[in-house]
Structure 1
């Protein structure tokens, strides 16, 4: 039986058993609105497997050590770290654990270019997101984000994994995990499905209370991140339903149930975005300023700069899907994308 935790408790420290041999450990994210990132400890006869590694900071390592001690284990027993995606709160401590313990690190192959860019650019600033801001007409916001302190760049925590993962099965002593690529949040995001136990370690792909940012990448790239994300959500409905073990938030009852909510949310958001356009031609920054944000419909101007960046990037992603579906048109002038509603298009947004 799954142990459930409410919204106020999930980020508290310590190991919480969700199934025999499966434990959720929230690790701190100081000064981050997400509060914590869940890593999952899987007890195997030949060692411990972690799903995601956490952020490479002293507070996180201490919280992990303490949680493992409460389970009767220690760091030295960690043999494998299976990471869902490249963001620092998931990947960097995995690399640190490998350096300390010799643990093997796994990462989706779609993240390869992101790691290459980190090495080329020598920065973990959201370069691609800054470019999106400027294409969206949010030049002042882009300049402000670029000038912020992003914590410095430590190349030692951005090393390549021991193994790049494709769509495949990973077999351990007492467990088989299916690797399912789910691009959208990042190009190389993967989830891990324990079919025998009915568990999905969903990373940031399916979250219980929030919608993940889309296409939050270091560099530029082709494709349609929101389109990829929606396709990845629909892919979840073709798999057997499972208990949701997310990277942020409490354990959920049903992956399918939450996926349905997320798909409905994005359909509604596409409708709202199109309604803001109306008969006007606007850039994504202008559209974002007229939309409400979070479940509480917070005004754009009441968001902090980082969340304004996410809001503009998300708005641009929705506008690009509207263009892809023939509901809007995009033009470019002076380096800024502008969007116009296509009044002759009548196909449903949920196509």
Structure 2
């Protein structure tokens, strides 16, 4: 399919973004609303989508961050469109990150709704709800050290057990959705599309009847989602992500409804832009490896172009940057453009051309 230009359709959302505010609740189509749920950090809000169900009740695609102000915003949004949290019958979770699944437990408690996600992300939730916050911190410290971080920097960036306590409240799903499964939301025909990369079990949802494509964080209109490695995670998440981009590029989509930012048209064009972005990043990283042979992921991240000077990166931002660098290094290794030595901490050099 020939890629057409990306066209903004969520004009109110983009205007709010430019004004550094949060948009209003918006009726997208008959029986479909976008409810912005505020969150901290640069993304500012999550798009929770509310679907009116045949026979009564509501469905949700994503819920928002688990915080009192986010909960109040979600409840107020449901009231504004003439509903109530008690009307929710089912929650589709695109992926396990807390800005998308965080309020699912509160919604289920208030309404009795089922919660559904992909088995891979369900396993991820089980893994961290089965550990103490202290164990979570120690695992991340060990993983960062394995990427070349000095232990004191790894511990400073990983944060405290108290900051992990919210992970224990995350809802374990009642239902699992594999690629191609249909969601049980009467009046809609949402098909689950497995798009690993941002998380191992990331799901998009396609509705062929309306041409709507709920893209979660897989395809966003302005930014590239973070593709990172983590302890016990996928061996080559960037390869998975680029493959999943290719699989949705031919999806017939009249409009894309992302988890952040604004709605748009031009899914094929946007996936092409994202693939080009990562190829540029891979080329930049390969050049850094050639200039700094034997570098670890931690060291090589400092030689890449970021949105601000590397000296300003710390804590979660630095973790994202280093683990994203590691994901790109793994794909370069898969392509046999770099080689790593056999030590516990990987050190990379450019492959010798034959």
Q: TM above 0.5, one fold? A: yes
**Structure 1 residue runs without a partner (length 5+):** 346-351
* Residue 193 (1) aligns with residue 206 (2): yes
**How far 1:309 moved relative to its partner?**
1.0
* Residue 29 (1) aligns with residue 42 (2): no
Spell out, residue by residue over 1:293-337, the C-alpha distance to the aligned partner (whole angstroms, 9 max, x if none).
13xxx222123421111111111110110000010001143x311
Which of 56, 63, 73 does residue 63 from structure 1 map onto?
A: 73
**Structure 2 residue runs without a partner (length 5+):** 1-7
Contact 2:104 2:115 in 1 (8 A): yes
Spell out, residue by residue over 1:265-315, the C-alpha distance to the aligned partner (whole angstroms, 9 max, x if none).
000000000011115221111211011113xxx222123421111111111
Given the superposition, is the C-alpha separation of residues 155 and 261 from structure 1 closer, same or farther in structure 2, using an over 3 Å criterion?
A: closer
What corresponds to 2:149 in structure 1?
138
Q: How does 1:103-182 map to 2 (within 5 A)?
A: 103-123=113-133, 125=136, 130-139=141-150, 140-148=152-160, 151-154=163-166, 157-167=169-179, 168-182=181-195
* Residue 327 (1) aligns with residue 330 (2): no
**How far 1:2 moved relative to its partner?**
4.5
Q: Which of 190-199 and 220-229 deviates more?
A: 220-229
TM-score, scaled to structure 2: 0.89
What corresponds to 1:90 in structure 2?
100
SS of the aligned residue for 2:218 comes to: coil
Given the superposition, is the C-alpha separation of residues 128 and 169 from structure 1 closer, same or farther in structure 2, using an over 3 Å criterion?
A: farther
* Residue 43 (1) aligns with residue 52 (2): yes
What corresponds to 1:341 in structure 2?
350
Alpha-carbon distance in 1 for matches of 2:183, 2:164: 35
Contact 2:195 2:202 in 1 (8 A): yes
SS of the aligned residue for 2:196 comes to: coil
SS of the aligned residue for 2:116 comes to: strand
Given the superposition, is the C-alpha separation of residues 58 and 107 from structure 1 closer, same or farther in structure 2, using an over 3 Å criterion?
A: same
May I ask how many residue pairs the two structures share in their alignment?
339
Spell out, residue by residue over 1:224-270, the C-alpha distance to the aligned partner (whole angstroms, 9 max, x if none).
11111111111111322342211111112222121111000000000
SS of the aligned residue for 1:208 comes to: coil
Alpha-carbon distance in 2 for matches of 1:8, 1:185: 27
Contact 2:65 2:98 in 1 (8 A): yes
* Residue 9 (1) aligns with residue 9 (2): no
SS of the aligned residue for 2:42 comes to: coil
**How far 1:4 moved relative to its partner?**
2.5
Q: Which of 128-137 and 250-259 deviates more?
A: 128-137
* Residue 258 (1) aligns with residue 270 (2): yes
* Residue 234 (1) aligns with residue 241 (2): no
Spell out, residue by residue over 1:99-156, the C-alpha distance to the aligned partner (whole angstroms, 9 max, x if none).
1210111111111321221132223957765444222212343211223466341466
Alpha-carbon distance in 1 for matches of 2:237, 2:225: 12
What corresponds to 2:280 in structure 1?
268
What corresponds to 1:348 in structure 2?
none
TM-score, scaled to structure 1: 0.89
Alpha-carbon distance in 1 for matches of 2:299, 2:48: 38
Given the superposition, is the C-alpha separation of residues 324 and 115 from structure 1 closer, same or farther in structure 2, using an over 3 Å criterion?
A: same
Alpha-carbon distance in 2 for matches of 1:5, 1:14: 8
Alpha-carbon distance in 2 for matches of 1:3, 1:155: 32
Alpha-carbon distance in 2 for matches of 1:27, 1:127: 31
